[in-house]
Structures are given as structure tokens and as C-alpha cells.
Amino acid sequence: MPVHNADIAAVFDEIADLLEIESANPFRVRAYRNAARALRDLNQDVAAMIAQGGDVTELPGIGEDLGSKIKEIVETGTAAMLEEHRKKVPATLTNLLKIPGLGPKRVQALYHKLGIRTLDDLQSAAQNGRVRALQGFGAKTEQHILEQLKARTSEAKRFKLAIATQYAESFIAYLKASAGVEHVVAAGSYRRAKETIGDLDLLVTARSGSPVVERFVSYPEVEEVLAHGTTKASVRLACRLQVDLRVVPEASYGAALQYFTGSKEHNVLLRQLAQQQGLKLNEYGLFKGDQSVAGTTEESVYAAVGLPWIPPELRENRGEFEAARAGHLPKLVELAELKGDLHAHTKATDGRNTIKEMVEAARKRGFEYLAITDHSRRLAMAHGLDPKRLFEQLEEIDRLNDASPGLTILKGIEVDILEDGSLDLPDEDLGRLDLVVGAVHSHFRLSREKQTERILRAMDRPHFTILAHPSGRLIDEREPYEVDMPRLIRHARDRGCALEVNAHPLRLDLTDTDCQMAKDEGVLVSINSDAHSVLDFENLRYGVGQARRGWLEMSNVLNARSLQSLRPLLKRTM
């Protein structure tokens, strides 16, 4: 069975969970946790790399020990170390760590003092008032546990887009090898570039007699076949992702692609529009009576009801029909239109490559410029730069710029916004830079008013250029902090600041609706990778998808401008 990066990461995450429950050395736990995150976000197929004789220790954060375990997981699907620790600690205890507020010490207490092994055990104990009796818990903690358990059971599991991509791309490649197959495409929320997806919809056109359905249900990663017909089937993969297949004739390809892409709200309005014109629209085509009038392509379906083709990312019933009728659909930004990246880290703080290595990777992507924006001193865990180390880095950038024409290295920093709204470095030091990326990395639980005022004060500093990951969220891990986003956006407009779409798959921040609000207010958005290694530039594809969902065009994107056009905009806030 194929082993994906996410599968390897899941093994490392479970090892880290079990080590935490056993009170192992925190540095050891962190090594597995960091490796899991790095692998999950990696855009390079590790199993393929190993098959081709590559050295996994060249990957960021992977040494000899972790490298040998990665090879073991690729070859066997698990790790001996994991199996050993599962014998010491019930594997179900790791699920308890997924409940916010339950760290390893509390899980230990629940297990040893109340015999709690599973989420069901935990719910029963909390409902019976047994949890509050434990030292260090109390009634509020017990109630919080019950609320989190209720939320967990009411929400279907969703996969981050980047994780779903790992499974989707290999499954699509597998189906394309089937005899008689003409098209294989992922539709649904995946095609609309949603931040997370619940299941994967695969659409296939194939010649008569193609064994594609049989090949689909026989995919090595299939754990359970949910349905199996002649033109459709559903399976659940070992990773718990449900995948649905529909096989349609070529004449219906466009109508089916439109139908299965969604969204539901968009499709309802499109069908109503067709009905108003005496037409019937379904996944097989657009019909007038029994006669097909369109369906081979999506463009033909939209054209037949008097509309231009609407890009998938816009199909959310947020004004796309009105814009289409008025001829005002945006020409959405493309990945190839980015001229550079304005947020990247190096080994000087918590990155994994040197400036020179990051620059070379950016050059290979065809960038005109790359901003080096290592962390400031406040972020001690990232070994942030104080003024002395920052100036040393600026001198290094000067030397590299002189010795390496063809790509300009911009001098920047990701400076912490402190609780009172001041910045982590003085204005006179920030004034030596080409740009200043401001970010909130602490005090996430301030009130809406205090958090908003804090960021507004930071944006008022004379050299503030871009607000990084503006809501502070981590998808499925940390809720956004309370902030008045419309007020921040209007202030950015008045100050001439830009807002970031952070392309890291865990962030994708700004949200799509906030992107649209920024566009409406005339605020420029910078689509940045927040790269911590040369491989992270690949994440820009997800940032572009988020920007497209927010209706952004090339003219709305700060780093879609040439260096010559960019420089005056960077200085606009000075």
C-alpha cells in the first residue's frame, strides 16, 4: 500500500503523544512533533524519494535516527518503536490528548486514577461528575470537557487541503492508468480550493468496457467499500477519507463536472436560472425537453443559460451570478503571476536553510525578489534576532546582492507585535529595512477591543508594511483571536499597509471573505509562503487558491508586481 507523507507524520505524532503520556524528555517529544509537522507540510513525496535512492536526512529537521524510522515506516507501514510504546500505554489514550485542555499530565491522571482509556470513558466520567473530583480539574474543566466532546462528535472529520492533495493526486494517477480512461478530475470542495474537505469526489469519463470502477474499488489504500455499482462507487481509505467515484459519458462531462464541483448553493441558483428559461439541468446535461442543448464542457452549460464560465473558486453564492451577468467577473490571480515572496525565514532563526539556499530556490522559481524576514528577538524559541544579529544579517544580504545579480534579496523582519501594540525592535532599527512584517505571536486571548487596538497601534508605527497571518488561526488547532477585522482592513487602507494571505496549509490566513473585504476597501494583499525551508515555496499554490476564493486579481496582490513597481509601495508606509 502506498505510504504518504501524512501517514509517516501520523506515526510520528502518535509516538510523540505516547512519549508525552509517559513523561518522556520534552526535547525528544518535540523532535518527533516537529518532524511530523515538517513531513505533513512537505510537498516532496518521501516514499518516492526513498525508492529513487534519495537521502531523507537532507529533509528539514530529519537526522539519522528519524531518517531510519521514516524508511522503516515506508517499508512496513509502522515503526517498531510505536508498537513498543503501544504495549506500555493504551493507544486509545492518545485520543484524549486531542481534547483541548487535556495535556499529558491530565491524561495520566484520568487513566491512573479513574481508569479512563477512551473518549466514551471520559464522557461517562464527566457526566457522572467523577472528573471534577480529581485534583487539578474542577467543575469548569469538567464542563469544558463535555462541551468539547459534544463538538467533536457533531463535526464530521475534515482533511486540510494540503493533506487531501497527497491522497487525491496519487489516486488520480492510479485511475488514469486504467484502460479506456479519458478524464479523471477531482471535483467538489477540493476543486473549489476549500481550506478543508470532508470527502473527495472523483469524476471519470471512459470508453465503454473500461474496468475503471473495478480498479477504483481495488485501490491498495481502500479499507472499506461503501458502495459498488457500474458507474459509481464509494470507498473509505485507510486514512478515513471517503472517496466517491462517478463515471459519465464524454457528452456529459462538462455538466457532471459543474454539478459535482458545487457548491450546493451555487448549483441551486444555476438550476433555477435554467428553469426560468424552460431548461432542465442535471449531471447528465442541460436539456430542452428530451433534447440535450449543452453538457460536453462547463463553458457550454454556463453559456446556454446566458452566463460566462464562472471559476470554481467563486461558486459559493457570494455574488458570482450578479458579477457574471454584469460582465464583472474578476480575472483571478494565477500562481505564475507572483513575482516574489515577502515572508521567508532562514537558519538565523527557526528556518532550515541559509539565505543563499533560500535565494537559489527562489531563483529557480523565476522570482525577481525574495524578502528575508526572520523573527525578532521576542520569539525566543525561534532564536529571534536582536539588533546586533539583524545588522549582521543585513550586511550578509548586501554581500549576496552584490555577488548574485538576477534576483534581489529584500531586507526584512517578522517583528513581534507586543501586548501594548509596540513593536519588538525600535523604529531606528526597523528604518534600515526594505519592509517590516508585523505579527501577533502571543496574548491570543485579549478581548476583541484590546486585540484590535493592539494591532492598530502596531500598524501606526512608521515602518510597518505587512500584517502577517492577520487572524492568528491555525486550522483545526487554534481558533482565530477576537479582532475587529473590518476595522483593521480600513486602517490598513488609511495607513497604506498590506495584509498577508499566509499560504502555509495550517494557516491560510486571511480567510476568503476577508480577502474579498480587503479588495473592496482597496487594500493590497501579499500572498506569502512563510517559508521555513526551500521546499515551503511550494505552499504558495494554496495561498493562491485562498486568494482566488477571495476574488483577488493580479492588481490586488502586492507581490504580483515587479520589483520596480513594488519598491514605492513598500515605502508608502514610511
pLDDT value of residue 154: 57
Give mean pLDDT, residues 244-257.
96
Question: Would you say residue 484 has pLDDT above 70?
Answer: yes
- The CATH number assigned to the domain holding 191 equals 3.30.460.10
pLDDT value of residue 307: 97
Domain-terminating residue out of 154, 182, 199: 154
Same domain, 371 and 429: yes
- Rounded Cα gap, residues 267 and 260, in angstroms: 9
Into how many domains does the chain fold?
4
Closest CA to 437 of 393, 474, 469, 409: 469
Question: Would you say residue 404 has pLDDT above 80?
Answer: no
Give mean pLDDT, residues 33-44.
85
Give mean pLDDT, residues 40-68.
88
Distance of CA 340 to the CA centre of its chain: 20
Give mean pLDDT, residues 127-139.
90
Give mean pLDDT, residues 357-378.
96
pLDDT value of residue 156: 65
Same domain, 80 and 100: yes
Same domain, 356 and 485: yes
Q: What is the mean pLDDT of the chain?
A: 93
- The CATH number assigned to the domain holding 282 equals 3.30.210.10
pLDDT value of residue 27: 87
Could you tell me which residues come within 8 angstroms of residue 221 by beta carbon, excluding any fewer than 6 positions away? Answer: 1, 2, 167, 171, 237, 238, 239
pLDDT value of residue 392: 97
Domain-terminating residue out of 95, 119, 154: 154
Same domain, 48 and 109: yes
> What are the tens digits of pLDDT across the range 308-354?
999 999 999 999 999 999 999 999 999 999 999 999 999 999 998 99
184: confidence class by pLDDT, cuts 50, 70, 90: very high
Same domain, 478 and 546: yes
Give mean pLDDT, residues 50-64.
87
Same domain, 341 and 367: yes
Angle at 471 between CA 488 and CA 349, to 5 degrees: 110
- Rounded Cα gap, residues 351 and 513, in angstroms: 30
pLDDT value of residue 573: 56
Of 352-356, 473-477, 550-554, least confident by mean pLDDT is 473-477
Same domain, 169 and 146: no
Same domain, 144 and 76: yes
Domain that holds residue 557: 335-573
pLDDT value of residue 43: 78
pLDDT value of residue 21: 85
- Rounded Cα gap, residues 242 and 569, in angstroms: 46
> What are the tens digits of pLDDT across the range 204-248?
999 988 999 999 999 999 999 999 999 999 999 999 999 999 999
Same domain, 540 and 414: yes
Give mean pLDDT, residues 541-551.
98
Same domain, 98 and 175: no
153: confidence class by pLDDT, cuts 50, 70, 90: low
Of 14-28, 349-363, 508-522, least confident by mean pLDDT is 14-28
Same domain, 48 and 15: yes
Question: Would you say residue 574 has pLDDT above 60?
Answer: no
pTM score: 0.86
Query: Between helices 540-549 and 512-520, what is the axis angle to 10°?
Result: 60
- The CATH number assigned to the domain holding 47 equals 1.10.150.110
Question: Would you say residue 91 has pLDDT above 80?
Answer: no
Give mean pLDDT, residues 142-149.
89
- Rounded Cα gap, residues 161 and 196, in angstroms: 5
In angstroms, the Cα distances linking 549 to 21, 193, 524 are 41, 7, 16
Question: Would you say residue 86 has pLDDT above 90?
Answer: no
Question: Would you say residue 93 has pLDDT above 90?
Answer: no
pLDDT value of residue 256: 97
Same domain, 306 and 339: no
Domain-terminating residue out of 326, 353, 369: 326
Closest CA to 38 of 162, 149, 142: 162
pLDDT value of residue 105: 82
26: confidence class by pLDDT, cuts 50, 70, 90: confident
Give mean pLDDT, residues 450-461.
97
